[in-house]
Each structure stands twice: as structure tokens, then as C-alpha cells.
């Protein structure tokens, strides 16, 4: 009977401990994301991160091995958010046109970029100034996005809306154009405009982002 009554208390303590650990890890990630954006990954130290998070240095190592490990976690979360924003093209009768669905996908991706702006700036600006492992994390991001684009092209070919092409080469070229456009917009977001420092992914921007890569692909 005593053990039966103590079980909920034990479960409650375990739940609170899990919640505290999750909260501390999130605080470290938020702090790292902010410091990486403000100072650059290379110039941000673990001491900078723990001070911003308000935790002891030893606590950091309960969650991460080094700052590159933190960047890897941020990039992984960024990739997961982008994957979650992309919807498979629906070709059933009555569905919006493929172009409109692609535009909606890009609109959701731009919303992800705004929510994860600090990480987006790091990965879109390229590996310059990053340590070896940090640069590798960013390169891994682009390889995964390239694979996603290749998969999307394969689906489009299967649906008959994308012409036959070398999917990997087309993905590289399309990503190059999109990456340049997004990088410039993100960089512009660092300059105050009408009192705002956020990038502006307006409808004109989205329209060009959709139209430019697709003109050489759609039948």
C-alpha cells in the first residue's frame, strides 16, 4: 500500500525533473542562437552562452559537448521546421494548381525563416567565419535541402508537371538562386526599415521566388 501511494509522488518528481531539463536545454539553445547571431559562431564562447542562459558552465556539459554541438541542434531543429512546412503536391480534382501549392509551401517556409531568423542568417550566409564542425553542420543542412528538392522534382516528374531533367543539377541551380534571394532579404532585415529589423517576405518576393525557378521546369 505504501509503495502504491508513493508512486504518483515519484512520477510527479520525475515529470518535474524532465520539465526542468527541457527548460534548461531550451534556455541554452535560445541563448546560443542569440549570441551566434550577434557575435558570430566563431567569436561566441561557451561562457557567453551560459551567461546569457543564466546557468553554470558545468550545466552546459550536461546537455552539449561544445558550441558546435549546440549549432548542430539548432540546425537540426531548423531543418525539421522546414520539413514540417512543406506539403506534398495534391493533384486530386478540385485541388489548387501545383504552382499555387508550391507558392503556399514557400510562404510557409518563409514563415519558418522569420521564426528561426537567427539560425537562418547563419545557414544562409554560408560557412565563412565558421569553425570546421560548424561549417560541416551548415553544409549538412544544404545537402539535406538539396535532397528534399530532388525528391520534389521526382514527384513533379511523376505527376507529369516537371520536364525530364538531371534532378541533382537542377536542384543545385534552383537552390543557388533561391539561397541568394533569401540571403539578401535576411541581410536586409538587419538594417532598420521603417522601425523594423525583420526581413520582408512579401507577396511580390514570393511570386518571383516561385516563377524564376519554375519557368525552365514546367511543361
Q: According to the CATH classification, is domain 1-64 in 1.10.10.60?
A: yes
Task: For domain 65-219, give the CATH number.
Answer: 1.10.357.10
Residue 8 pLDDT: 60
* 168-206 tens-digit pLDDT: 998 888 888 888 888 888 777 655 444 444 446 778 888
Secondary structure (H, E, C), 95-108: CCCHHHHHHHHHHH
Q: Which residue has the higher pLDDT, 162 or 219?
A: 162
Domain assignments of the chain as residue spans, ordered by start = 1-64, 65-219
Query: Are 114 and 124 in contact, with CB atoms under 8 Å apart?
Result: no
Residue 127 pLDDT: 59
Q: Are the folds of 1-64 and 65-219 the same?
A: no
Q: Which residue has the higher pLDDT, 52 or 123?
A: 52
- How many CB atoms lie under 10 A from the CB of residue 70? 27
Burial 93-132 (b: 16+ CB within 10 A, else e): eeeeebeebbbbbbebbbebbeebbbbbbbbbbebeebee
Amino acid at each position: 500500500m505504501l509503495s502504491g501511494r508513493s508512486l504518483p509522488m515519484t512520477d510527479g518528481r520525475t515529470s518535474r525533473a524532465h520539465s526542468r531539463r527541457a527548460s534548461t536545454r531550451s534556455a541554452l539553445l535560445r541563448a546560443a542562437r542569440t549570441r551566434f547571431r550577434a557575435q558570430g559562431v566563431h567569436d561566441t564562447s561557451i561562457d557567453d552562452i551560459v551567461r546569457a542562459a543564466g546557468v553554470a558552465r558545468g550545466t552546459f556539459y550536461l546537455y552539449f559537448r561544445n558550441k558546435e554541438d549546440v549549432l548542430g541542434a539548432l540546425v537540426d531543429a531548423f531543418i525539421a521546421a522546414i520539413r514540417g512546412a512543406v506539403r506534398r503536391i495534391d493533384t486530386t480534382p478540385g485541388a489548387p494548381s501545383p504552382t499555387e501549392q508550391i507558392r503556399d509551401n514557400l510562404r510557409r517556409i518563409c514563415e519558418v525563416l522569420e521564426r528561426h531568423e537567427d539560425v537562418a542568417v547563419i545557414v544562409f550566409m554560408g560557412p565563412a567565419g565558421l569553425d570546421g564542425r560548424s561549417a560541416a553542420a551548415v553544409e549538412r543542412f544544404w545537402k539535406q535541402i538539396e535532397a528534399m528538392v530532388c525528391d520534389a522534382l521526382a514527384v513533379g516528374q511523376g505527376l507529369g508537371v516537371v520536364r525530364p531533367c538531371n534532378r541533382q543539377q537542377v536542384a543545385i541551380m534552383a537552390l543557388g538562386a533561391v539561397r541568394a534571394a533569401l540571403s539578401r532579404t535576411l541581410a536586409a532585415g538587419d538594417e532598420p526599415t521603417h522601425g523594423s529589423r525583420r526581413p520582408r517576405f512579401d507577396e511580390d518576393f514570393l511570386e518571383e521566388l516561385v516563377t524564376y525557378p519554375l519557368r525552365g521546369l514546367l511543361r
